[in-house]
Structure 1
Amino acid sequence: MMQQFYPQVPHTYRYELNKDMHVAAAHFIPNDAAGQCKNMHGHTYFINITIGGDTLDELGFLINFKRIKDIVHKRFDHTVLNDHPEFKEVFPTTERVAEQIWKAVQTELQTQVNKPNCLQVVVRETPTSYVVYRPKPEELA
């Protein structure tokens, strides 16, 4: 994976963790206004997740990198995004994919004793197009 630099999210946490990964998935946007995207097609999505916190767990982690990958990769890799329950009522645009990744990661983080927060999710759909999702402050614990 090529190293990327992503927009920084301002915060006052002592620790910041970033996890990069990629997911191969297909989707379609069933609306004529989506142009060619209305047809089934796939992407290798490159994803960056930023987590912040002031307290480490008993092992010295904000959260284990592997756990973050498991939450996202096992859920979305080699799937059709439209088939996921979270995309039954909304189209799986890159914006919505980033939002759903944030929700899944944040939900897991809140089960941790040290309660870190997911500050940002970047989803790169193509080499020239990406989305940044940042929660509102009131969405963080």
Structure 2
Amino acid sequence: MLQQFYPQVPHSYSYELNKDMHFAAAHFVPHESAGKCVNVHGHTYFVNVTVAGDELNEAGFLVDFKTLKEIVHDRYDHSLMNDKKEDFNDKNAYDFPTTEVVARKIYENIQSYLNGMDNKPQCLQVLVRETPTSYVVYRPKNGGK
């Protein structure tokens, strides 16, 4: 079991949910200044997602933990992230599969799902740990990206 403390997001919602998960994936950064990262290599990514809201759904959940795992794990586990063209490309640095962009894409995919829920929970933060010593936190500014 992971026992990790994460940066907290100040908010005024009644409920806050955090989901830890991990996935194994390969990637490369398609830019000459990325050093060794221009080569295909892999990581076991550890992810923490923070979702908050004031209303529970008809099942008594803010959002089902299983659904959050499906949105992230099922999309990326055992993949070459560069092949996920719906998320990444090699033309725009804001779409390269860097840890920063992976965190933002996870947020966007989760928030897209949450937007369809009647109780309207919000994804407040996504933390992606690429190595034991390096992680990125993505927090959307008010109104999204």
| TM-score category (smaller protein) | over 0.9
After TM superposition, what 4+ stretches of structure 1 lie above 3 angstroms from structure 2?
A: none
Superposed CA deviations along residues 104-139 of structure 1, whole A, max 9, x for unmatched, are 000000111100000000000000000000001112
SS of alignment partner, residue 34 of structure 1 = helix
Backbone CA RMSD of aligned residues: 1.1
**Unaligned ranges ≥5, structure 2:** none
| Partner of residue 81, structure 2 | 81
Between the two proteins, the alignment pairs up a number of residues equal to: 140
Task: Give how far 1:33 is off.
Answer: 1.2
**Equivalent position of 1:96 in the other structure:** 101
Distance in 2 (CA, whole Å) between partners of 1:49 and 1:114 is 18
Amino acid at match of 1:38: V
Q: TM-score, normalised by structure 2?
A: 0.93
Q: Percent of counterpart pairs with the same letter?
A: 62
What displacement does 1:32 show?
A: 2.5
- Residue of structure 2 in register with 1:128 after alignment: 133
Q: TM-score, normalised by structure 1?
A: 0.96
1:48-67 residue pairs with structure 2 within 5 A? Answer: 48-67=48-67
Partner residue, 1:4: 4
After superposition, the C-alpha distances for 1:33-77 in whole angstroms (9 at most, x for unaligned) are 111111100000000000000000011100000000001111000
**Helix, strand or coil at the partner of 2:143:** helix
1:23 aligns to 2:15 (yes or no): no
Gaps of 5+ in 1: none
